[in-house]
A = this chain, B = another copy of it.
Amino acid sequence: MSVLQGINPNIRKMKQLEYGALASRANQIKEERHYKEVIDVSWGDSHRAGVKPLTFVRQVLAACVYPPLINSNNLPLDVRQRAQKQLGTCAGGSVGSYTETAGVSEIIHSISEFIKRRDGGIPSQPENIYISAGSQWSIGNILHVLVNSEASPKTGVLIPVPCHITTAVSITGLGAVTVPYYLSEEQAWALQVEELQRALESAKGVCNPVALYVINPGNPTGYVQSRKSVQEVIRFASEKGLFLLVDEVYQDSVYGENSEFVSYKRALSEMGPPFSGTVELASFHSVSKGFLGECGLRSGYVELVNLDPAVMNYIQTLFSKDSSSPVLGQIALDLMTDPPKPGDPSYPLYNQVGTLELYLLRTSQHYNLPGLSCPPIGGGFYAFVRLHLTPKSIQKSKELGLQPDTFYCMKLLEEGGVLTTPGCEYGQKEGTYHIRYNTQIDKLMSLGGKKKKIHV
């Protein structure tokens, strides 16, 4: 067999990233020009963007990794006690051991208590929670259960446009079809039920939609759904028999005026019967996009609601095939969901960085400039800024074989030393162009004084 001919056709359908060319060019520029740095705001990665890790989190993890630190007076008492407690839940007292498939049971308990507090007392069952090496990994596993790769017509999954690319890649790679629903840029990227309805209609004769993927707060848009909007989506999913895949990894990053995070789990429960006992829901969260910003630890969880117990057994098998998730990441989840309390030695420092607002650039105010526009942002890590490109610029990019917004990103990189990602990576209405960047630092704004004007 020549492998290229024989490979899984679904793999061939996975969208390959435009971003690769930009990242390579950024590396070249760093070397050629001996720039101190290219300012990289293309990732959803707090530490890369200059945010510092939380001291308490890192101290506990270090003491778990190297237990002699537990006996050292250089670390605060609550850090040492916490490390001791965490190690007590590890087999052989080592973070080098596997854990149970779903994760350390004490940590799962912390997560369920966190969810209960977040949702105003609505209970969360530990047996419905699975920890994994990042939330994307859980999304892939749940999709794996939902997608029937042999079905005809194919399984369909509704996803927003614009949307970060990884979920779409997972869907396509499993042999399902993405059914796009467009977010309304005119209404600050709101999710509209009429558009979900239109998308579902569009799938007729093409595929069999079984699930609806929502990301709230949005990536790349920063849109935060109201309680009413969440309820409408739940009602729609219920009516159409769709499984709800709800990506809530930006739940800690809500800072818009009048914006509030309302979890789907909470809204569902508050809606009461028949919804609360029937709508199937998977909600995802992680230590990467929360206030910890610990992407490199690779740790997230999924909470499953209203699933058939027989299906839960299959999910257990699916998660078990990769043994267990990284133990230090699991401990970070415990620290995130059960943080220091008033009176603990680590509390004052921990609490200082309790709000992401400190880091966040109020992009919308700055970017309503000629040539650029951005609606108010409610939450999340990013700005998704509209580029009003001139016909000349669009023409030029086409001559170069680039998407117009990739061309703009390339110019930003070449002339300003700033690495962003083009809207074409996320999907956008035809004839519109955007860039996404991480707003967690204001390095980009502080460029104002030194950067050249970029002509496009």
Contacts and interface: CB of A to CB of B under 8 A. Distances in A.
A133 interface: yes
A336 to B, nearest CB: 12
A74 to B, nearest CB: 7
Contacts of A97: 43, 45, 47-48, 295-296
Q: Quick one: copies of this chain in the complex?
A: 2
Contacts of A329: 326
B297 A3 contact: no
Interface in A134-169: 134, 136-137, 140, 144-150, 166, 169
Nearest to A327: B296
B294 A11 contact: no
A296 B97 CA distance: 5
Contact of A8 (B43, B133, B146): B146
Contacts of A91: 40, 43, 45, 47-48
Interface in A1-37: 1-4, 6-12, 14-17
Given A170-B321, A296-B326, A98 B1 contact: no
A130 to B, nearest CB: 15
Interface in A305-335: 307-308, 310-311, 313-314, 316-318, 320-329
A347 interface: no
B66 A61 contact: yes
Contacts of A294: 96
Interface residues of A, number: 91
A272 interface: no
Given A1-B241, A17-B317, A58-B65, 14 more contacts: A1-B210, A3-B145, A3-B280, A4-B311, A6-B146, A7-B314, A11-B144, A12-B314, A17-B320, A46-B96, A49-B92, A61-B66, A62-B66, A295-B323
Interface of A: 1-4, 6-12, 14-17, 40, 43, 45-50, 53, 58-59, 61-63, 65-66, 69, 72, 74, 90-92, 94-99, 133-134, 136-137, 140, 144-150, 166, 169-170, 173, 175, 210, 241-243, 280, 292-298, 307-308, 310-311, 313-314, 316-318, 320-329
